[in-house]
Structure 1
Amino acid sequence: MVPAEGLVGIGRAVQGAIYAAGAYGHKPKMPVEPAALYDAARRRMSPQAWSYVAGSAGMQRTDAANTAAFERFPIVPRMLRDVADRSLGVTLFGHDLPAPVLFAPIGVLEMAHKEAELAVAQAARSLGLPMVLSTQGSVPMEETASALGANPMWYQLYWSNNDDLARSLVSRAERSGAQAIVVTLDTHSLGWRTKDLDLGYLPFARGEGIAQYLTDPVFQQLVRDRVAEKRSGDAGRDATQAGRVGRAPKGEAVSRPSAAELHQRPTPTAIRTLISISRHYPGTLRDNLRSPLPRAAVETFLDVFPCPALTWGDLAKLREWTQLPIVLKGIQSVDDAQLALEHGVDGIVVSNHGGRQVDGAIGSLDALATITPVMGGRLPVLFDSGIRSGADIFKALALGASAVLVGRPWLYGLALDGAAGAQAVMERLLAELDLTMGLSGVASIDQITRDCLAQ
């Protein structure tokens, strides 16, 4: 429940509404306790979807390190300070925001809820918080931007190995009203995600989470070129084979399937995958099942996604493509933070992708604690990876973050109750942040400093 005056007093409003409903026997539809929210979402989602959104790399040690890091920075509440009127507002890149919290970019949202980004847009719009759209979206960015209206929107870019495609995605985001471009650096290749590997599950191979690509003119041309090239190659091979073996007797195939081909005959899962690919591709299911384009689109995506050759020097190209603020997401070292500053970017996000890329890496909050003192306020330093509560947000801000990106918690809410669930989870995080501020003796975000934590 957002107060009529916005986020002012949100802590008391949300808390009071829950207790008032409880007096009449109504418990919260959405679990408030983080572990209960986690368990409820796990029960609601399919094993494949749950493993993909909740799983991390390897033995899940980096994910564990992310949450454990918050234990190392206890809050020290201060007393007898006037905190009757509290403000959560901040300014980022020249835009006033009601709170230093953003909806983090998460791909393949259709696995959590059928309305995907459109539901999240509704939640973000209700709270006035920026939504960071993912390149791996389930809904084209133009449709999500329309659903957001005037609400702040940023665009997260996975820089593919095709610069024309990357530039096209950035241009589309700018035309759609994005206020910043967030370049994810740590996912130029997929991490070793054991839970997904055990299930043999990659959503993109089913055509899920590639809506931005399927609606992009550069990508569409790449797909058409691939089909044309394959047809040309097949025609050449057929001609060569016909000249070598001659005409086959009537009613007899030119060649019989090999043992390997027999082993790969369609299975029910393969048929479901083909139907999924065809449903996601623009056009009718019937036409797509007969067309080579949908399968070629998935193959093209798998070819263009990885970009391990990207370097600091490539950032100059992005500056030529857009005048929007450029934010680098995935910074974990002081040296890289300094390089980002030297290359003239406008901000960084200290993040390890929620532990999904490198197993056994540094906890993101520990990285934040070392990076912000070196940056000295010369550029905004944002944070994600490991936030599960409003108190966690408070600690990240105290360690120097200008704002935080929240991901998995609202995704669990989305899975449980669509837009209302995502909004409820974010409201409660803001409510706890507000109450934590008051109980710790601070009345505004700029008063949350390192002094609020044990030294």
Structure 2
Amino acid sequence: MEGLLCVDDFEKEALSKLEKSVCDYYRSGADDELTVKDNRDSFSRILIRPRILRDVSNRDLSTTILGKKVSVPLGISPTAMQRLAHPDGECGSAKATEIVGGILILSFFSTSSYEEVAAASPNVRKWFQFYMHKDRSINEAVFKRAEKAGFEALVLTVDAQYVGKRRASEKNPIQFPSHLRLPNAVPDEEKLDVSKVHDSIDHSVTWEGFKLQRMPYVQAAELGVDAIIVSNHGGRQIDTAPATIDILPSIVRAVDNRLEVYLDSGIRRGTDIFKALALGAKMVFVGRPAIWGLAVDGAKGAKRVMEILRDELDLTMALTGVADIKSITSKFVCTKDSLLKL
């Protein structure tokens, strides 16, 4: 991994290692993949305005998320079926997250159980993604399992009751290996039929249905929840949805400090993290970058990707004249148009 210096390097290396169907599954977006592209391009349209002659000899990347300290405002998004990338799978992602001091969100479609992840990284901060089952008794059983395994919060994903049209995956569908399972999505099945997993999800659920849950959960201010993740599912659900970094400021204004706001989709560089924080996100999460790290070298590869992003954020802060996370504000970013008005 010595020659892999950035997330894009890891992506190229990962794509050379993975089977094409697996590559297509992870890379694909909805329809023409315009939102996938815009998620990344939008960060490039935001400029950083450095301040000079400031004391940045010591920098503090830590912050507080849901009342507890994290070493860096960086975590791993709920990314499905990670053992397709490497046998370490979600346990490898948990180890990587634990080392950098971030937060792991375990996918509903994880190929590792809550218990396996907890055993692999007992000290990692971990949340779990969830879709509402039609059978509410299954929901209750899953919540109890996750809570017993040390998961702190329930992350409800609300934009994927149906799967977006991902053409690359439809043309070249993955063949789910017989030795893998989805132990959190269908915990009682010995033999897994992946094609039927979505049949168990409640496609009719509304915001009212989420009032039944007891754990802290991450979704919407009107329900008195703790935080919201600004995400477009990595561009995988509805094409031409806004890039997350473009919509972020309006969401931050709308919630008006009533809850914490996080962001995912499109993060590939430390400068991207800096820009998201400057525009009001308290923390960012990455999905595909962690997968590329896993594919290259399992837990070690995922750790290296997370370290690269952390170190790039640290360097961005140093070069921008910011000594701690709380000092990153909107005054440090602008657009070309706004520069012309100065």
Q: TM-score scaled by structure 2?
A: 0.93
Counterpart pick for 2:156 among 177, 183, 197: 183
Counterpart pick for 1:362 among 218, 231, 242: 242
Any residues of structure 2 matched to 1:176-325 within 5 Å, and which? 176-201=149-174, 203=176, 208=180, 210-214=182-186, 216=187, 220=188, 281=190, 294=191, 298=194, 301-305=197-201, 307-318=202-213, 322=214, 324-325=215-216
C-alpha distance 370-207 of structure 1, shift in aligned 2 (>3 A):
farther
Higher CA-based Rg: 1
Q: Does 1:167 align with 2:148?
A: no
Task: Give the drift of 1:374.
Answer: 2.4
- Matched residue pairs, number? 335
C-alpha distance 211-453 of structure 1, shift in aligned 2 (>3 A):
same
**1:200-231 deviation line (CA, Å, top 9, x unaligned):** 33649x685512144x3xxx2xx6xxxxxxxx
The separation in 2 between residues aligned to 1:314 and 1:207, in whole angstroms, is 34
Task: Give the drift of 1:437.
Answer: 0.5
Q: Which residue of structure 2 lines up, in the alignment, with residue 64 of structure 1?
A: 37
Q: Which residue of structure 2 lines up, in the alignment, with residue 146 of structure 1?
A: 119
**1:418-453 deviation line (CA, Å, top 9, x unaligned):** 111000011010001001001101111110011111
Q: Does 1:395 align with 2:281?
A: no
Unaligned runs of 5+ in 1: 1-27, 224-280, 282-293, 329-339
The separation in 2 between residues aligned to 1:207 and 1:308, in whole angstroms, is 29
Any residues of structure 2 matched to 1:71-150 within 5 Å, and which? 71-150=44-123
Counterpart pick for 2:12 among 36, 39, 46: 39
Structure 2 counterpart of 1:100, one-letter code: P
Structure 2 counterpart of 1:383, one-letter code: L
Any residues of structure 2 matched to 1:349-428 within 5 Å, and which? 349-428=229-308
**1:349-398 deviation line (CA, Å, top 9, x unaligned):** 00000000011111111111221122222210000000001000000000
Task: Give the drift of 1:160.
Answer: 2.5
Q: 3-state SS of the aligned residue for 2:246?
A: helix
**Farther off after superposition, 441-450 or 370-379:** 370-379
Task: Give the drift of 1:68.
Answer: 1.2
Larger proportion of helix:
1
The separation in 1 between residues aligned to 2:239 and 2:179, in whole angstroms, is 27
Q: Which residue of structure 2 lines up, in the alignment, with residue 51 of structure 1?
A: 24
Tell whether the 8 Å contact from 1:30 to 1:416 is kept in structure 2 after alignment.
no
The separation in 2 between residues aligned to 1:299 and 1:386, in whole angstroms, is 28
The separation in 1 between residues aligned to 2:100 and 2:203, in whole angstroms, is 37
Q: Which residue of structure 2 lines up, in the alignment, with residue 327 of structure 1?
A: 218
The separation in 2 between residues aligned to 1:123 and 1:35, in whole angstroms, is 18
Tell whether the 8 Å contact from 2:72 to 2:100 is kept in structure 1 after alignment.
no
Q: 3-state SS of the aligned residue for 1:348?
A: strand
Tell whether the 8 Å contact from 1:156 to 1:184 is kept in structure 2 after alignment.
yes
The separation in 1 between residues aligned to 2:106 and 2:198, in whole angstroms, is 20
The separation in 1 between residues aligned to 2:57 and 2:218, in whole angstroms, is 35
Structure 1 counterpart of 2:197, one-letter code: F
- Taking every aligned residue pair, what percent have the same amino acid on both sides? 36
The separation in 1 between residues aligned to 2:90 and 2:65, in whole angstroms, is 23
Task: Give the drift of 1:310.
Answer: 1.3
Tell whether the 8 Å contact from 2:60 to 2:324 is kept in structure 1 after alignment.
yes
Structure 2 counterpart of 1:429, one-letter code: L
Q: 3-state SS of the aligned residue for 1:50?
A: helix
**1:319-350 deviation line (CA, Å, top 9, x unaligned):** xxx2x32102xxxxxxxxxxx21111111000
The separation in 2 between residues aligned to 1:354 and 1:30, in whole angstroms, is 27
Structure 1 counterpart of 2:218, one-letter code: V
The separation in 2 between residues aligned to 1:343 and 1:174, in whole angstroms, is 21
Q: 3-state SS of the aligned residue for 1:211?
A: coil
Task: Give the drift of 1:300.
Answer: 5.4
The separation in 1 between residues aligned to 2:181 and 2:18, in whole angstroms, is 17
Task: Give the drift of 1:299.
Answer: 6.5
Task: Give the drift of 1:179.
Answer: 1.4
Q: Which residue of structure 2 lines up, in the alignment, with residue 334 of structure 1?
A: none
The separation in 2 between residues aligned to 1:161 and 1:58, in whole angstroms, is 28
Q: 3-state SS of the aligned residue for 2:64?
A: strand
Q: 3-state SS of the aligned residue for 1:383?
A: strand
Q: TM-score scaled by structure 1?
A: 0.70
The separation in 2 between residues aligned to 1:154 and 1:30, in whole angstroms, is 33
The separation in 2 between residues aligned to 1:390 and 1:178, in whole angstroms, is 27
Report runs of 4+ in structure 1 exceeding 3 Å deviation: 200-204, 206-209, 297-300
Q: Does 1:156 align with 2:129?
A: yes
Tell whether the 8 Å contact from 1:109 to 1:209 is kept in structure 2 after alignment.
no
